[in-house]
Amino acid sequence: MAARRVLHDKFFRLAKEEGYLARSAYKLREIDDRKRLFRRGDRVLDLGCAPGAWLQVASERVGTPEQGGFVGVVVGLDLQPVAANIAPNVFAIVGDVYKVEPKDLLGESGERFDVVLSDMAPNTTGHGDDFLSARLCERVLDLCPALLKPGGRLAMKIFEGAAYPDVLRRAGRMFREAKGFKPKASRDVSREMYIVGHGYEPALR
Protein backbone atom coordinates (compact mmCIF):
# COMPACT_ATOMS: atom_id res chain seq x y z
CA MET A 1 0.00 0.00 0.00
CA ALA A 2 1.32 3.47 -0.85
CA ALA A 3 2.64 5.59 2.01
CA ARG A 4 -0.04 7.90 3.39
CA ARG A 5 0.81 11.58 3.49
CA VAL A 6 0.70 12.86 7.06
CA LEU A 7 -0.50 16.44 6.96
CA HIS A 8 -0.31 17.42 10.61
CA ASP A 9 3.10 16.05 11.55
CA LYS A 10 5.44 17.32 14.24
CA PHE A 11 6.91 20.04 12.03
CA PHE A 12 3.44 21.35 11.19
CA ARG A 13 2.66 21.51 14.92
CA LEU A 14 6.01 23.10 15.74
CA ALA A 15 5.45 25.80 13.14
CA LYS A 16 2.14 26.68 14.76
CA GLU A 17 3.70 26.73 18.23
CA GLU A 18 6.77 28.77 17.26
CA GLY A 19 5.06 31.26 14.97
CA TYR A 20 6.39 30.17 11.59
CA LEU A 21 4.16 30.63 8.57
CA ALA A 22 4.82 27.09 7.27
CA ARG A 23 6.56 23.85 8.24
CA SER A 24 9.14 24.54 5.52
CA ALA A 25 10.89 26.85 8.01
CA TYR A 26 12.48 23.78 9.58
CA LYS A 27 13.95 22.68 6.27
CA LEU A 28 15.86 25.93 5.92
CA ARG A 29 16.86 25.95 9.58
CA GLU A 30 18.39 22.48 9.18
CA ILE A 31 20.10 23.38 5.91
CA ASP A 32 21.71 26.37 7.63
CA ASP A 33 22.60 24.42 10.76
CA ARG A 34 24.27 21.70 8.70
CA LYS A 35 25.61 23.66 5.73
CA ARG A 36 26.26 27.15 7.13
CA LEU A 37 24.43 29.24 4.58
CA PHE A 38 23.98 32.48 6.51
CA ARG A 39 26.19 35.01 8.22
CA ARG A 40 25.19 38.05 10.21
CA GLY A 41 24.76 41.05 7.94
CA ASP A 42 24.19 39.00 4.76
CA ARG A 43 21.99 40.10 1.91
CA VAL A 44 19.63 37.25 1.02
CA LEU A 45 17.31 36.67 -1.94
CA ASP A 46 14.43 34.19 -1.55
CA LEU A 47 12.85 33.19 -4.87
CA GLY A 48 9.35 31.75 -4.46
CA CYS A 49 9.06 33.20 -0.97
CA ALA A 50 5.33 32.88 -0.18
CA PRO A 51 3.91 32.32 2.38
CA GLY A 52 7.05 33.67 4.03
CA ALA A 53 8.49 30.98 6.32
CA TRP A 54 11.91 31.10 4.65
CA LEU A 55 11.88 34.90 4.90
CA GLN A 56 11.33 34.50 8.63
CA VAL A 57 14.23 32.09 9.08
CA ALA A 58 16.59 34.07 6.87
CA SER A 59 15.86 37.33 8.69
CA GLU A 60 16.53 35.67 12.06
CA ARG A 61 19.83 34.22 10.87
CA VAL A 62 21.24 37.36 9.18
CA GLY A 63 20.18 39.71 11.98
CA THR A 64 17.18 41.95 12.53
CA PRO A 65 17.18 45.48 13.98
CA GLU A 66 15.61 44.13 17.18
CA GLN A 67 18.52 41.72 17.68
CA GLY A 68 21.14 44.46 17.49
CA GLY A 69 24.61 44.08 16.01
CA PHE A 70 24.95 43.38 12.31
CA VAL A 71 21.66 43.63 10.44
CA GLY A 72 21.08 41.75 7.20
CA VAL A 73 18.58 42.33 4.39
CA VAL A 74 16.19 39.75 2.98
CA VAL A 75 14.37 40.23 -0.33
CA GLY A 76 11.68 37.84 -1.50
CA LEU A 77 9.93 37.30 -4.83
CA ASP A 78 6.74 35.36 -5.50
CA LEU A 79 3.70 35.35 -7.73
CA GLN A 80 1.61 35.60 -4.55
CA PRO A 81 1.87 38.47 -2.05
CA VAL A 82 3.28 37.78 1.41
CA ALA A 83 0.62 38.98 3.81
CA ALA A 84 2.61 38.69 7.03
CA ASN A 85 4.61 41.61 8.40
CA ILE A 86 7.80 39.68 9.14
CA ALA A 87 10.57 42.11 10.06
CA PRO A 88 11.76 45.61 9.10
CA ASN A 89 14.66 44.15 7.12
CA VAL A 90 12.43 41.92 4.93
CA PHE A 91 11.05 43.12 1.60
CA ALA A 92 8.69 40.97 -0.46
CA ILE A 93 8.04 41.70 -4.13
CA VAL A 94 5.23 40.30 -6.27
CA GLY A 95 6.57 39.10 -9.59
CA ASP A 96 7.37 36.23 -11.96
CA VAL A 97 10.83 34.66 -11.70
CA TYR A 98 10.85 34.20 -15.48
CA LYS A 99 10.10 37.87 -16.16
CA VAL A 100 11.72 39.81 -13.32
CA GLU A 101 14.62 42.14 -14.04
CA PRO A 102 17.60 41.62 -11.73
CA LYS A 103 17.83 45.37 -11.08
CA ASP A 104 14.36 45.27 -9.55
CA LEU A 105 15.59 42.73 -6.99
CA LEU A 106 18.89 44.43 -6.25
CA GLY A 107 17.23 47.73 -5.35
CA GLU A 108 18.76 51.19 -5.36
CA SER A 109 22.10 50.06 -3.95
CA GLY A 110 22.65 47.59 -6.79
CA GLU A 111 24.57 45.39 -4.33
CA ARG A 112 24.43 41.69 -5.12
CA PHE A 113 23.32 39.05 -2.66
CA ASP A 114 25.42 36.81 -0.44
CA VAL A 115 22.84 34.01 -0.55
CA VAL A 116 20.21 32.99 -3.11
CA LEU A 117 17.41 30.68 -1.93
CA SER A 118 14.66 28.93 -3.82
CA ASP A 119 11.92 26.74 -2.40
CA MET A 120 9.98 27.02 -5.64
CA ALA A 121 8.03 24.04 -6.93
CA PRO A 122 5.79 23.59 -9.98
CA ASN A 123 2.10 22.88 -9.71
CA THR A 124 2.35 19.12 -9.37
CA THR A 125 0.44 16.89 -11.77
CA GLY A 126 2.30 13.62 -11.21
CA HIS A 127 3.61 13.66 -14.79
CA GLY A 128 6.81 15.50 -15.70
CA ASP A 129 7.00 17.31 -12.36
CA ASP A 130 10.72 16.62 -12.08
CA PHE A 131 11.41 18.33 -15.42
CA LEU A 132 9.33 21.37 -14.43
CA SER A 133 11.20 21.55 -11.13
CA ALA A 134 14.53 21.32 -12.96
CA ARG A 135 13.44 24.17 -15.25
CA LEU A 136 12.84 26.38 -12.20
CA CYS A 137 16.30 25.50 -10.91
CA GLU A 138 17.85 26.30 -14.27
CA ARG A 139 16.21 29.73 -14.06
CA VAL A 140 17.72 30.25 -10.61
CA LEU A 141 21.16 29.38 -11.96
CA ASP A 142 20.60 31.65 -14.96
CA LEU A 143 19.99 34.56 -12.57
CA CYS A 144 23.04 33.96 -10.39
CA PRO A 145 25.53 35.94 -12.52
CA ALA A 146 23.44 39.08 -12.13
CA LEU A 147 22.40 38.55 -8.52
CA LEU A 148 24.98 36.55 -6.54
CA LYS A 149 28.30 37.83 -5.25
CA PRO A 150 31.48 35.87 -5.99
CA GLY A 151 31.89 33.40 -3.15
CA GLY A 152 28.14 33.44 -2.51
CA ARG A 153 25.96 30.55 -1.39
CA LEU A 154 22.89 28.80 -2.80
CA ALA A 155 20.10 26.51 -1.61
CA MET A 156 17.37 25.49 -4.04
CA LYS A 157 14.72 22.80 -4.13
CA ILE A 158 14.56 20.26 -6.92
CA PHE A 159 12.54 17.09 -7.42
CA GLU A 160 14.58 13.94 -7.88
CA GLY A 161 14.26 12.52 -11.36
CA ALA A 162 15.95 12.22 -14.72
CA ALA A 163 16.92 15.91 -14.87
CA TYR A 164 18.34 16.15 -11.35
CA PRO A 165 21.91 14.95 -12.14
CA ASP A 166 22.26 17.49 -14.96
CA VAL A 167 21.19 20.39 -12.75
CA LEU A 168 23.51 19.22 -9.98
CA ARG A 169 26.41 19.02 -12.43
CA ARG A 170 25.69 22.52 -13.70
CA ALA A 171 25.63 23.85 -10.13
CA GLY A 172 28.92 22.04 -9.55
CA ARG A 173 30.46 23.97 -12.44
CA MET A 174 29.33 27.28 -10.92
CA PHE A 175 30.22 26.69 -7.27
CA ARG A 176 33.35 25.35 -5.62
CA GLU A 177 31.10 22.82 -3.92
CA ALA A 178 27.54 21.77 -4.76
CA LYS A 179 25.81 18.80 -3.17
CA GLY A 180 22.34 17.39 -2.69
CA PHE A 181 20.78 17.41 0.77
CA LYS A 182 17.42 16.22 2.11
CA PRO A 183 16.33 17.79 5.43
CA LYS A 184 14.52 15.73 8.03
CA ALA A 185 11.56 18.08 7.74
CA SER A 186 10.98 16.93 4.16
CA ARG A 187 8.15 14.42 4.05
CA ASP A 188 9.27 10.81 3.63
CA VAL A 189 7.11 10.39 0.53
CA SER A 190 8.42 13.58 -1.08
CA ARG A 191 10.92 13.48 -3.96
CA GLU A 192 12.26 16.90 -3.05
CA MET A 193 15.97 17.49 -2.57
CA TYR A 194 17.95 20.65 -2.03
CA ILE A 195 21.04 21.56 -3.99
CA VAL A 196 23.35 23.48 -1.67
CA GLY A 197 26.23 25.40 -3.19
CA HIS A 198 29.15 27.23 -1.58
CA GLY A 199 31.73 29.48 -3.20
CA TYR A 200 30.08 30.88 -6.30
CA GLU A 201 32.66 31.34 -9.05
CA PRO A 202 31.26 33.28 -12.03
CA ALA A 203 34.19 32.34 -14.25
CA LEU A 204 33.26 28.65 -13.96
CA ARG A 205 29.84 28.99 -15.58
Q: Let me know the angle formed at the C-alpha of 173 by 114 and 72, rounded to the nearest 5 degrees.
A: 5
Q: Which of the residues 10, 27, 99, 157 is marked catalytic?
A: 157
The CB-side HSE value for 45 (13 A sphere, CA atoms) comes to 26
Contact (CB, 8 A) for 194 and 155: yes
**Alpha carbons 192 and 183: distance in angstroms, whole number:** 9
Annotated catalytic, 157?
yes
Residues tagged active-site: 157
